[in-house]
Amino acid sequence: MSIGERVCLSLSVLGFGMAAAPFVADQALAPMGNGRFAMAFVGAIMGVSFFVCIFLFRSRNRVRRELLAGRGVLARWTYTGAEWRAFAGVEMKKQAGNRRFLLWVTAAIMAVVTLVYLVRDPSSGRVVGAVLAVLWLLCWFVSRASLHAQARARAGDGPLVLIGRDGLLLGAEAHIWRGWGNSLGSCELREGPPRVLAISYRVPSGNATILRTVVVRVPVPAGRESEAVEVLRLLQA
């Protein structure tokens, strides 16, 4: 079981525990009042969501193993230290800024929800606010941990890039665009320096009817431009 699967399993168990607590320990949680049911609702959503994520990580790991075994690989790229450092610094700053923005938006939405509950029922509102604050801290922790993991994966003279029909590996970083509702969007070559192969794909967000677009940018090593054009043709097909 991968680290991602273990983390999702732990959070799923925590969520189901929150959902069951008001029914298992009704007397002990009686001082919470109506807040017990808010905790159960949030816990149920959290438990189901992370339980589904376990299988998502399992599917991603299958594609990772296929690429590492060399099956279905369209391109295998490495970089010089100078090539990679010129690209990685800008990318990490951009992604860190995007994640900070999303965390602030999430915090604002949670604050509004907490305020609504406080106006309707102060006692349950405090519980809802505490639960949402814990969830926000978990989101912050996951965001920071993934950024640090990405920084480690992109450190040094440059990772190995493996591009396949179902996804790509950028060092230890996986991008999968087939399976579990994921679908390939657009592919294009963008001028540099360095030239970049930009691949967008859609992943479910919230539910199967709402899709979020992810864009991964892969620098094209010097002298591999023709290979990048062929990868682009194959993916577009």
| Residue among 155, 181, 182 nearest 79 (CA) | 155
Cβ-contact 215, 200 below 8 angstroms: yes
> Is 139's pLDDT higher than 80?
yes
Which positions ≥6 away from 34 have C-beta within 8 Å?
A: 121, 123, 124
Q: How far apart are CA 171 and CA 191, in angstroms?
A: 23
> pLDDT (tens digit, 9 = 90+) per residue, 173-209?
788 888 777 888 888 988 877 788 999 988 876 555 5
Q: What is the model's pLDDT at position 163?
A: 92
Cβ-contact 14, 39 below 8 angstroms: no
Q: How far apart are CA 115 and CA 122, in angstroms?
A: 9
Mean pLDDT score of the chain: 80
Q: What is the model's pLDDT at position 162?
A: 92
Considering only residues 3 and 101, tell me which one the structure prediction assigns the higher pLDDT.
101
Q: What mean pLDDT comes out for the span 120-134?
A: 82
Q: How far apart are CA 195 and CA 100, in angstroms?
A: 27
Q: What are the DSSP calls for 161-228, one per residue?
A: EEEESSEEEETTEEEE-SBTTBEEEEEEEE-SSSPEEEEEEEEEESEEEEEEEEEEEEEPPTT-HHHH
Q: What is the model's pLDDT at position 235?
A: 87
Q: What is the model's pLDDT at position 154?
A: 61
Task: Quote the distance between the C-alpha of residue 215 and its chain's center.
Answer: 12
> Is 157's pLDDT higher than 80?
no
Give strand pairing partners of 218: 197
Only one residue has tokens 């008001």, namely 22
Considering only residues 153 and 14, tell me which one the structure prediction assigns the higher pLDDT.
14
> pLDDT (tens digit, 9 = 90+) per residue, 79-89?
887 778 777 76
| Residue among 178, 190, 237 nearest 218 (CA) | 190
Domain-by-domain residue ranges, the chain?
1-71, 72-78+160-237, 81-157
Considering only residues 156 and 176, tell me which one the structure prediction assigns the higher pLDDT.
176
Phi, psi of 169 (to 5 degrees): -115, 125
Model confidence pTM above 0.75: no
The pLDDT confidence band at residue 19, using thresholds 50, 70 and 90, is: confident
Bond preceding residue 193 cis, omega within 30 of 0: yes
Cβ-contact 115, 100 below 8 angstroms: no
Only one residue has tokens 């620098």, namely 219
Q: What is the model's pLDDT at position 155?
A: 63
Q: What is the model's pLDDT at position 90?
A: 63
> Is 93's pLDDT higher than 70?
no
The pLDDT confidence band at residue 1, using thresholds 50, 70 and 90, is: low
Instruction: Of 23-37, 50-64, 95-109, 128-142, give the range with the top mean pLDDT.
Output: 128-142
Q: What are the DSSP calls for 91-103, one per residue?
A: HHHHHHHHHHHHH
Q: What mean pLDDT comes out for the span 19-46?
A: 76
State the burial class of residue 167 (Cβ atoms within 10 Å of its Cβ: 0-12, 13-18, 19+). buried
Residue 181's CB: how many other CB atoms inside 10 A? 14
